[in-house]
Structure 1
Amino acid sequence: MKPSDHAPGYVPNAAYSQADWDEVSDNPELSAEQLAQMHLGSEGLPPDLAAALDQRGRRMASQTRGVPVSLRVDPDVLAAYKAGGPGWQARMNEALAAGIARGRRRSRAVKRG
């Protein structure tokens, strides 16, 4: 096969070979009419699938709004939460809330004892 016979756009790399690229890159270019008929987003999907995709990655809205604060924490603590990916602030909030609950249980135990 001559180099000109290969699918356009291949850039040599270790992830895939020219043969891999050629195998999956044989789609014809879309016409202007086909492009005009394309729908973005979830318009052409079944409603339940569209709803599931729309909700993907979103967290449940809290009943109460968070209050912005400035808080000093050890750099390694912050790095550990951020390393967990998106939602690190919510996870940190959950850990603080769990600490409050533990403190309340401990104080009730001391009062009874």
Structure 2
Amino acid sequence: MKPSIKTRSGRVLSMPTPVEDAAINAGIAQDPDTYELAAAEFKQLRRGRPTGSGTKVQVTLRIDEEVVEKFKASGAGWQTRINDALKSWVQHNA
């Protein structure tokens, strides 16, 4: 029987067997783009979303579908690009 642990939320997770763990570690060792974090590096990791600038206000705004689709079609960061377009308009028309 595989060892398991129970999470705080009540889920039961199966832990790898020693043979599986060795195979995982061997795969990590062969990958030149990865390494095991040192304890100090691991401590610096943060969970969740990074904090924002604190200068933005959340609003609900109704925008034409074609405008939103055009911004979304240009890839990730479309909301930032909408913000930049609005900011540019304000600077040139205020």
TM-score under structure 2 normalisation? Answer: 0.48
Name whichever structure is richer in helix by fraction. 1
TM-score under structure 1 normalisation? Answer: 0.41
